């Protein structure tokens, strides 16, 4: 009787982790064959959404796969709470106030030109991204006034 209780207790204790292991093995196999795991599948995000979430790995992955760092992307509920905005990756980086993200986007092909420098500088001032405003001002003369400059918001 005592041996039977020991075996039953061993099975009861070993069963839950074994089932979890099998479930994750099935999820991994599904991910390898279909590209999406059964548990916690990756949600598709745009380049600007990845910037808004400070997800540097996703930013580099998307650019490596051909995402254009110079066009506007839709961004839902990340940069502006409960709002949809359409911004460029550089504008999204300004909205995060993270100079390293801004510099990373420039290093990966985003064009910082005289045409967009005025908008980016004024937007950085509006968003209190002083490091980014200084970065842009070091490359292009800052505008005397931001009056009439079309900002993302």
DSSP per residue over 88-134, as a string?
-HHHHHHHHT-HHHHHHHHHTT----HHHHHHHHHHHHHTT-HHHHH
Tell me 141's DSSP state: P
pLDDT of residue 14: 86
Instruction: List the structure tokens of 132.
Output: 């980014």
Domain range annotation of the chain: 1-42, 47-139
Taking only the tens of pLDDT, the chain with its 153 residues reads 788 888 888 888 888 899 898 888 888 888 888 877 887 777 889 999 999 999 999 999 999 999 999 999 999 888 888 888 999 999 999 999 999 999 999 999 999 999 899 999 999 999 999 999 999 999 999 999 999 899 988
pLDDT of residue 36: 77
Q: What is the dihedral sign for C-alpha 102, 107, 111, 113?
A: positive
pLDDT of residue 98: 95
pLDDT of residue 102: 97
pLDDT of residue 30: 85
* SS3 call for 39: coil
pLDDT of residue 125: 96
Please provide residue 75's backbone torsions phi and psi, each rounded to the nearest 5 degrees: -135, 125
Q: Which CATH class is domain 47-139?
A: mainly alpha
């Amino acid at each position: 009787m005592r041996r039977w209780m020991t075996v039953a207790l061993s099975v009861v204790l070993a069963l839950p982790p074994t089932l979890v292991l099998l479930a994750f093995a099935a999820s991994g196999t599904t991910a390898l064959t279909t590209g999406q795991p059964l548990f916690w599948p990756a949600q598709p995000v745009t380049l600007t959404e990845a910037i808004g979430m400070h997800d540097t790995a996703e930013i580099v992955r998307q650019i490596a796969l051909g995402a254009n760092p110079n066009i506007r992307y839709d961004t839902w509920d990340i940069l502006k709470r409960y709002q949809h905005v359409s911004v460029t990756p550089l504008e999204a980086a300004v909205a995060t106030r993270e100079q390293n993200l801004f510099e990373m986007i420039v290093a990966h092909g985003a064009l910082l030109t005289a045409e967009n420098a005025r908008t980016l500088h004024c937007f950085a001032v509006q968003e209190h991204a002083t490091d980014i405003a200084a970065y842009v001002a070091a490359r292009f003369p800052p505008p005397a006034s931001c009056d009439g400059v079309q900002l993302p918001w």
